Amino acid sequence: MDHRRVRTPRTTRFLPASDPAAADEAARVLAAGGLVAFPTETVYGLGADAANPDAVAALYAAKGRPAFNPLIAHVADTAQAGRAGRLSLAARALAEAFWPGPLTLVTPYAGGPAVCDLARAGLDTVALRVPAHPVAHRIITAFGGAVVAPSANRSGHVSPTEAEHVRADLDGLIDLIVDAGPTSVGVESTIVDCAGDPPRLLRPGGVPRAAIERVLGHPLPSADASDAHRPAAPGRLASHYAPRAAVRLDVSSVRPGEALLTFHGARPPGAEHAALVLDLSPTGDLVEAAARLYGALRRLDGAGVPAIAVVPLPPEGLGEAIADRLGRAAAPRPEAAAGPAQD
């Protein structure tokens, strides 16, 4: 089995943010599907083109992130945010008051390719932020699109507040580190869910609740994790991405009428009678498989089959994250439980 792209060493270059070409070079690497660590006012982020599922899958692989938690899309200004998400009046008031800055707003996704399914973990909402760090702003502006940027560390490690921390974790796994010295805020962004009314606090962070309440003119309730209809943290839902078709995992044979979701050319008995066969990666590349997962589930579901049979996938690398997503797709729904993904 070939998992080269999961471990493919990359040559990690270093550029000081004072280099006049740094922002343009970072934008060029992002546009080519590469991974760029850059400072935000909170911590160093690991940036990838939010519209490019291959780049987002490579980001998960570089972080060693165990599950596909949705990512925050970083944009240059409120106008760009307003094209990716549908900003309510409350969201606009908060954006006006706190952007650029350490505030993330969850809004209904406006559709289109700006933030791919994988980056949103298949949700119909999107988390948006306009960071205040001038280097982050220059890079995002030069790039022109939305940039997903979780903390630039290996999963389970402490978030990086200096370029050296990034190098210690990700040297040889990413393409470029833009160094602008230590970051200022060091605590993550506050996340407010503005997809419903009233807005709710999903994660406390750089902008205090009281400051948000002053702008809203009323109290900001915390998200209630028991509210199955409006999940506080999407990663906590057992059933997270839910195709209409039933999903049968780790099959050793295909039943009549089922569609087959396979990997690395595997054809279990009965495959010849499958309603449809999709191979997540004929070459056995788990990064490619991750990038294709949501699209494949949608296509199989769109074919109207009663059930999707899924072959076992290798557990290493992104295989764990794929298994996590497939497990949620197969789980009874809707239903709470399961632990949140770590980042």
Sheet architecture: strand order including 246-248: 246-248, 307-310, 259-262, 277-279
The encoded tokens of residue 307 equal 């059930």
Main-chain dihedrals φ then ψ at residue 36, nearest 5 degrees:
-130, 120
User: Residues 150-169: x/- map of binding to Mg ion (CB under 5 A)?
Assistant: -x-------x----------
Interacting partner of 72 out of ligand AMP, Mg ion, none (Cβ under 5 to 8 A depending on kind): ligand AMP
User: What is the smallest separation between the CB atom of 203 and ligand AMP, expressed in angstroms?
Assistant: 6
From candidates 17, 27, 36, 123, binder to ligand AMP by CB under 6 A:
123
Rounded to a whole number of angstroms, the minimum distance from the CB of residue 42 to ligand AMP is: 8
Total of residues contacting ligand AMP (CB under 6 A): 19
Kindly state the smallest distance separating residue 150's Cβ from Mg ion, in Å.
6
Q: Counting beta carbons within 10 angstroms of the beta carbon of residue 233, is it exposed (0 to 12), middle (13 to 18) or buried (19 or more)?
A: middle
Pick the binder of ligand AMP from 233, 271, 277, 336 (CB under 6 A). 233
Contact pattern from residue 200 through residue 229 relative to Mg ion, giving x for each residue in contact according to CB under 5 A and a dash for the rest:
------------------------------
* Residue 71 binding target from ligand AMP, Mg ion, none, CB below 5 to 8 Å by type: ligand AMP
| Strands 103-108 vs 190-193: parallel, antiparallel or unpaired | parallel
Q: What angle do CA 63, 66, 68 make, to 5 degrees?
A: 90
Part of the chain binding ligand AMP (CB under 6 A), chosen from 6-14, 77-85, 231-239, 272-280: 231-239
Return the number of the residue (72 or 329) whose C-beta is nearest Mg ion.
72
Pairing of strands 147-148, 72-74: antiparallel
- Between 203 and 248, whose beta carbon lies closer to Mg ion? 203
* CA 118/CA 49 separation, integer angstroms: 12
Q: Which stretch in 1-9, 93-101, 230-238, 277-285 sits in contact with ligand AMP by CB under 6 A?
A: 230-238
Stretch that binds ligand AMP, among 23-31, 53-61, 122-130, 177-185 (CB under 6 A): 122-130
- Tell me the C-alpha distance between 309 and 307, whole Å: 6
| Residue 72 interacts with ligand AMP (CB under 6 A): yes or no | yes
Dihedral angle of Cα 21, 23, 24, 27, to the nearest 10 degrees: 150
Q: Which of 202, 290, 307, 329 binds ligand AMP (CB under 6 A)?
A: 202
Q: Would you state the structure tokens that stand for residue 176, as one six-digit string? A: 């470029």
By Cβ distance, which residue is nearest to Mg ion? 151
Cβ at position 48, least distance to ligand AMP in Å: 12
Interface with Mg ion (CB under 5 A): 151, 159, 343
Under the rule (CB under 6 A), what is the footprint of ligand AMP?
A: 69-72, 106, 120, 123, 125-127, 150-151, 188, 191, 202, 233-235, 343
